[in-house]
Structure 1
C-alpha cells in the first residue's frame, strides 16, 4: 500500500505479507505516475520578434554577455534576462522588456515595436543612438524609459496617439533637444521634461560649480553674477576673447545672447597649473609629440591615468585651436571619441587633459617605433576600423550640427586598454554649414600630407567628404601596414594611395596586403574593406560614400570575419591541421569593380543617408 504524505510531498510504501504466505513480501519494481499540467507555448510571433531583436542588437554588440545568454524559447521554461512574460489566450506573450544598464550601443532595434503586447519598455543607461522606432497604432505600450543614452532624434510624434502610453522618460540624452514638439506638451503624457536626473524626479535646474573643498549648489542668479565677475577678470588678464563660450571653474556656460543662458550637461574640469604639475610629476614622462605640443603621462589624485597635452611656445596651433577643441568636446560624447576631462589656462599655459590610452595609436601599432609596434591580427584591425568609422559617423551626423574633423589619420586614432578605437585631436575641427548655407565651407586648408583630400586642396572647399577621403587612406594603412607618405621608398611608392591604386584596379589585393596578416583573414571580409577604401579615395568627392555607408560595410565585414573565425575554431577542435586553417575561406574571390568615373558613380556606396532630424 502506498500513501502520500501531504506535508512534505513524500510517498510512504508499506509491504504486507499475504495471508497464508510462507515467505516475506518481495518487491521487484514499482511505477509511480504523476500528472503534470499542460505547459503553454510562447506565442510564435513573439518568439520570432524576440529573435529579431536579439540579432539586431548583436550587430553592434557582438561581445555583450546578456545577448549571449539569450537562447531557446524567450519565455519558457524561464524568461530571457530582461524579458517579462504573461499567459494570454492559451499561450505566453512578452509584456515587458528591461535592458537598462546593459552596456548596449548602436540603434534601438526597430523590431521592438512589433511586440504587440509589450506594455513596459526600459532601455535606460545604455549608449543607444539614432531615434526611437515607430510603434503601430494598436500598440498597448504603457511606459517608455530611454534616459541616459545618446539619442540624437526627437521621439516620433506618433507616440502621442498610442492609446495606453502614459509615461515617457527621456532625460540625460545630451544630444536630444529637451523641448519636444508642442503636441507632446499638449498630450496626456507624463514626461521628465528631458532633465538629467538619475531617479527620474523633477528638480529645479542648478549650476554645479566645482571647488577645491567639494561641490555647492548655486541658483542661476548667483551663477550669472559669477560669470560676469569672471568675464571682467578675463578682460584684465588678456585671456580668452569675448566669444560665445566662457569658462567658470569646471563647467562651460554658453552665452549665445544676453537673453538666453543655458548650461551644458557635460562638465569639463578646470585644473590649476599646480595640480597639473603634481599629476605629471613636473612633466616627467613624455609619451608623445604633436602639432599642438608635447603629451605627458599623469595620474590624478583619485588614481585615474591621464594624458596631458601641453601647448608648446613654438606650436603652430594656437589659442584658436585650444579653444576650438575645448568647446567642441564640451558638447559631444561617444564611445569612439576621446573625451576631454579638463583643461588648464594659467600663466599663459594652455593644457588639455584626456584619459590615458594605454595601447597608444593605430599608427604606433602598424609601423611606429619598434618599441611601440605590435602586430595586429586582421580581426583586431577590422574592429579598430569600425570603431573609428562610428566615431566619425557620429561627428558627421551630430544632432546640433554636423562636425568635420579635418585631420583624420592613424596617429589620431587612439586605442584604450580594450583596443577600442577612439578618434582624437579636434583642434582643426569645424561645423559644417547649416540648412540655408552653401553646401561647402571655404577655409584655409588644414590636414596632414598623405591624407589630404585632393579636391579640398585644389578648391579649398571643405565638406564631410574630405574626412571620408582621409579615412580611406587609414583603411589602406590597415590593409597594407604602410605609411601614407614615405619618401624613402622608390618614387612610385612614395604615396600610399598612388601606389595602391593600380593594384586595386587590377584586383591584385594579395600583393598589397600586410605580410604579417597574409593567410589570416577571410577573403570576402578583406574585399569589403578594400572596396570601401577604394570608394573613399575617389578623386571627386561626389563619388565618395558617406560615413554611414562605410560603417555598414565594415559591420558586414566584421560579421563575416567573426563567423569565419568561429567556423575555423570548430574545424580546429576536430583535429584539422593548423597548416590548412585558412584553406577553405581563402578560395573565395569577389570581383572588385574598376575605379568609378564621374559617368559611373557607385550606386550603393554613394547613397546618402537620411539627414538627422533638426533639434
Structure 2
C-alpha cells in the first residue's frame, strides 16, 4: 500500500510539472508571436526595414537619428551588416540616440560594435543618460549590455562619447525587462558582466527562447569531476512559481552542473577599484529522488560565506537568490557542500551585474526645453553647421554640449555659460535664449547673426554679454535694461544696432560700441589706429625683452641658496613668519556629534586609503569633511596618530588644517574644513561632474601654493618633514581656489645624523614614486620633489600619471612627456584645453623645472625652495604678460601667444631603470 501511494504521488508530481512546463512554454510562444511589443531594434546604416529569419525581429535603420550615409562603413557581408562611424574635430563631443521609454520602466539595452575594424590605440565611451557605462576599444567585448530604470522622462539617451580616434556602432537593441532587477538597487543602471547557462555546453540561448531577449552564454566547464546533468520537460519533478518574473527560460533551467564537493566560477578581469555587484543565482533540483535536507550547500564570494542553500526547503524545486557584494578586480564564486549534506552543490544559471553611478543631478526640465528651442531655431538657419551637429542627447550630461557649461542649482543642473563665438552661425538670434535664466555668460561674437537681441527678463542671472562682430539691429537698451546682474556688455561692430545704453546701466564695462576689428572707411582713422598700435607694440616688445632677460635663468640649473620671500604688485607672497609652529588646539568630538554632523554619514564625497570621506556641518555652521577609517583600510592606528600629532603642531595657509578628531568605540575619525572645489586631480581629469577647465594662470597659482606648503614642511622647526604621498588628489582647493596639501598619514621626519637613513616601508602611489627611493629605500626630501614634478606634468598635460589603458609608450606620464620636452616639442604635450592661452616663457619655466624634478638621481633635483622661486618667476611673467596682452587687445591683437625654444640639457648621467610601477613587491607601494 505504501509503495502504491508513493507511485501515485510521483505520478501527480510529474503531471503537475508537465502542466507547469506547458504553461511556461505557452507564455513564451504567445510572447514570441508579438516580437515587436516594446522592442526597439536598430541596425545602423541599413537601407530599409528588415526581419531577421531566426528571431523574427524587425530592425529599422538609424536614418531618423543620423541620415548622413557618408559615415557608413561595411563591416560584414550584406546590406544589414554595416556600421556607422562617428568623428568630430571638437573634444567635447557625443553622439546620441534618443529612445522611447516609459517613466519608471525597466529596460535591457544592448549595443554591438565592429571591433575588428578598431584602431589599437583608439577608444570611446558608452553612456546611458548621465551614466558612463563602459569604455570601448579593440580589446573590449563585441557588445555592451545593461539593465536600467528610466527615471522621470519618457525617453532615454544612449550616447557614444568621444575619446581618442573614431567611435563606431553597428546595432542597438532596447527591450522591456524585469522590475525585480532594480528593486534592491540604489543604482539606476546595471552593467551586465556575464549571464551564464551553467549546464549548457552546446550553444547560446537567446530570443525567442528567452522572450526578454536575454542572451544566456553556454558554459564549457573543463573539470572532468564536474557532472553535466539535464532533464526533459516531462522527466523532472518540481513546481515553479509562474510569478517569478526573473525566471530563466525552461531550456536554461533544464540543464545544470553538479559536483560531489564544490563548484567554482572565477573572474579575474572585473573593473579596477572597489565596486558593488549584484549576482542572481538560479537553482532547480533535477533529481526527483532528492529530499529536503539532502542537498545543502554554502555560497561563498571571494572566500566570504554569503548564504546557505537548501533548494527544497520551501517546498519548491526552484530557488532564485539575489546577492550583493563588493569586489576589487576579481570574483571567485564558490558553491561548497555543507558538512551534514548527502549531495554536493548544483547550479543551473547565474547573472552578474555591476552597479554603476552617475554622480550627477538631473537637468532642469525648463532648461532642457529652452536649450532645445534654441537648438531648433539655430538649426533652421544653419543646417550644416558642425557645432550644432554635435548637439545631441542631454545638454549637460554626461558632458555638456560644445560651447556650454553647466552648474547645479537646487538639486538640478542648469546652463550657466554659452560660448558660440566664431562658430559660423547666421540668421536671427534665437529669442528662446532669454529663457535660459541661469545663464551667467553669453558670448555670440564673431558670427553672422541678424535681428534684435532677445529681451532678457529681470530674473535673468546674466553677468556678461558679448555680441560683437555681427549684423544686429534694434535697440540694445530695450534688450538688457531689466537685467540686474549685468556687468559686462560688448556690442561693437554691429552697424545697424542702436547703441544708446539704458540709464540704469551707467556702471557697465563696455566697448562703447567701437569696432576695433573691422576695416574703417576712414583711411586716416585706420592709419592713426595702426600707428598707435604699432608704437605700443614696439614699446611692449622691447619692454618684454628686457623683462625676460631680467628674470631669465639657465635651464635646469638651480642655486642651493635660500630665497627671501617678498611681495610684488602681481602676487602676494606670504612670509614664513606668518605661520605658527606652536601647539594648536584640536577639538575632540564624540561619535554622536560626528554622526549628527554627517546626518549618519549621508553624503559620501570621496574615498582614499584611510577610508571614506563624508560631508558634514558642525553645530556652528562650519562645513567639514569627515574622514572615517574603514575596517579594510590600508592605513591603521599609526597613520591616524601620525596625522593627528603632526597637524596638532603645524599651520600654514597651503596645508589643510585639522579641526578635530574622534577616537571612540574603535572608530578613528579625522575632521577637516570642507574644500568646496575638490582636488586638483578632480579638476584636471576626474569625474565629469567634478572636472572643470582650469586656465593656465589658475594652474600656475595652484602649483605655487602647493609648492609653498611643501616648502614649509621641508623647513619646519629646523627638521625636514617629508610628505611621502605628494599627488594631485592630495592637493585640495578651497572656495577661493587656494591650494592646500592634504593627507599626512605617511609623513615622516627626514633622517638626521646617527639615523640609518633607510625607510623599512616604502610608501607612495604608483606613477608618483621616486625611483631612487623605490630602489634604495633611502628617503629624502627630494622624494617629494620627484612626486611634485609629476604633479607639474599633470598640470601642464592634463593627464593622469599612470594609465595602462593608453598605448604602451604612454602608460607613464613621466616617460611619455620627458622626450617631448627634451626635443623642444612642448606644444605636443600641453593640455588641449589651454593651448594658445599661455605665455611661452612661463610655460617653459614650468616644464624645465618639472624636468629637473623627475631626474632619476636626487642629487640633480632642485629643493622645494628653489621650486617656489622658479614658479614665482613663471607666475610673474604670466601675469605681466596678461596685463600687457589686455592693453593691446583692443587693437585687435592676438590674445595669447607661445614661444618654442630648445632646452639646455644637463651633463649626461648614468641611466637607471625606472621601477616597475605596477609591481606589487618588494616592498608594496600604496
Q: Taking structure 1 as the reference length, what is the TM-score of the superposition? A: 0.55
Mapping for residues 59-98 of structure 1, pairs under 5 Å: 59=568, 62=570
Shift of residue 436 of structure 1?
4.7
Give 2:767's aligned residue.
450
Offset from partner CA, 1:5-58 (integer Å, 9 cap, x none): xxxxxxxxxxxxxxxxxxxxxxxxxxxxxxxxxxxxxxxxxxxxxxxxxx9743
How many Å separate the matches in 2 of 1:475 and 1:399? 27
Give 2:895's aligned residue.
581
Helix, strand or coil for the counterpart of 1:287?
strand
Shift of residue 505 of structure 1?
1.5
1:129 to 548, 563, 576: 576
How many Å separate the matches in 2 of 1:441 and 1:464? 13
Give 2:387's aligned residue.
none
1:340 to 655, 658, 669: 658
Shift of residue 433 of structure 1?
1.8
| Residues 820 and 829, structure 2, Cα contact 8 Å, conserved in 1 | yes
| Residues 367 and 483, structure 1, Cα contact 8 Å, conserved in 2 | yes
| Residues 685 and 691, structure 2, Cα contact 8 Å, conserved in 1 | yes
Shift of residue 581 of structure 1?
1.6
2:820 to 498, 503, 507: 503
In structure 1, runs of 5+ residues without a counterpart are 1-54, 65-104, 107-127, 131-148, 151-173, 176-263, 601-615
How many Å separate the matches in 2 of 1:358 and 1:468? 27
Give 2:707's aligned residue.
389
Helix, strand or coil for the counterpart of 1:551?
helix
Shift of residue 350 of structure 1?
0.2
Helix, strand or coil for the counterpart of 1:442?
coil
| Residues 528 and 554, structure 1, Cα contact 8 Å, conserved in 2 | yes
How many Å separate the matches in 1 of 2:747 and 2:759? 14
Shift of residue 507 of structure 1?
1.1
How many Å separate the matches in 2 of 1:527 and 1:63? 20
How many Å separate the matches in 2 of 1:599 and 1:500? 20
Give 2:736's aligned residue.
418
Give 1:289's aligned residue.
607
Give 1:568's aligned residue.
885
Mapping for residues 428-443 of structure 1, pairs under 5 Å: 428-437=746-755, 440-443=757-760
| Residues 343 and 350, structure 1, Cα contact 8 Å, conserved in 2 | yes
Q: In the superposition, relative to structure 1, how do residues 459 and 300 fare at CA in structure 2: closer, same or farther (>3 Å)?
A: same
How many Å separate the matches in 2 of 1:486 and 1:595? 29
How many Å separate the matches in 2 of 1:417 and 1:591? 39
Helix, strand or coil for the counterpart of 2:795?
helix
Shift of residue 502 of structure 1?
1.1
Q: Is 1:330–2:640 an aligned residue pair?
A: no
2:592 to 253, 274, 292: 274
Shift of residue 435 of structure 1?
4.3
How many Å separate the matches in 2 of 1:374 and 1:427? 28
| Residues 824 and 900, structure 2, Cα contact 8 Å, conserved in 1 | no
Q: In the superposition, relative to structure 1, how do residues 506 and 595 fare at CA in structure 2: closer, same or farther (>3 Å)?
A: farther
Offset from partner CA, 1:200-228 (integer Å, 9 cap, x none): xxxxxxxxxxxxxxxxxxxxxxxxxxxxx
Higher helix share: 1
Q: Is 1:58–2:567 an aligned residue pair?
A: yes
Helix, strand or coil for the counterpart of 2:769?
coil
Shift of residue 501 of structure 1?
1.2
Shift of residue 401 of structure 1?
1.9
Higher strand share: 2
| Residues 534 and 595, structure 1, Cα contact 8 Å, conserved in 2 | no
How many Å separate the matches in 2 of 1:276 and 1:483? 34
Give 1:592's aligned residue.
903
How many Å separate the matches in 2 of 1:270 and 1:491? 49
Give 1:70's aligned residue.
none
Helix, strand or coil for the counterpart of 1:462?
coil
Q: Taking structure 2 as the reference length, what is the TM-score of the superposition? A: 0.37
| Residues 713 and 720, structure 2, Cα contact 8 Å, conserved in 1 | yes
4+ runs of 1 displaced by more than 2 Å? 55-59, 61-64, 434-438, 440-443, 588-591, 594-600
Q: Is 1:481–2:795 an aligned residue pair?
A: no
Q: How many residues end up aligned between the 2 structures?
A: 348
Shift of residue 594 of structure 1?
2.4
Shift of residue 408 of structure 1?
0.2
Helix, strand or coil for the counterpart of 1:534?
helix
Shift of residue 63 of structure 1?
5.3
Shift of residue 595 of structure 1?
5.4
Shift of residue 597 of structure 1?
2.8
How many Å separate the matches in 1 of 2:828 and 2:642? 42
- The alignment yields a C-alpha RMSD, in angstroms, of 1.8
Shift of residue 62 of structure 1?
3.6
Give 2:840's aligned residue.
523
Give 2:811's aligned residue.
494
| Residues 543 and 598, structure 1, Cα contact 8 Å, conserved in 2 | no
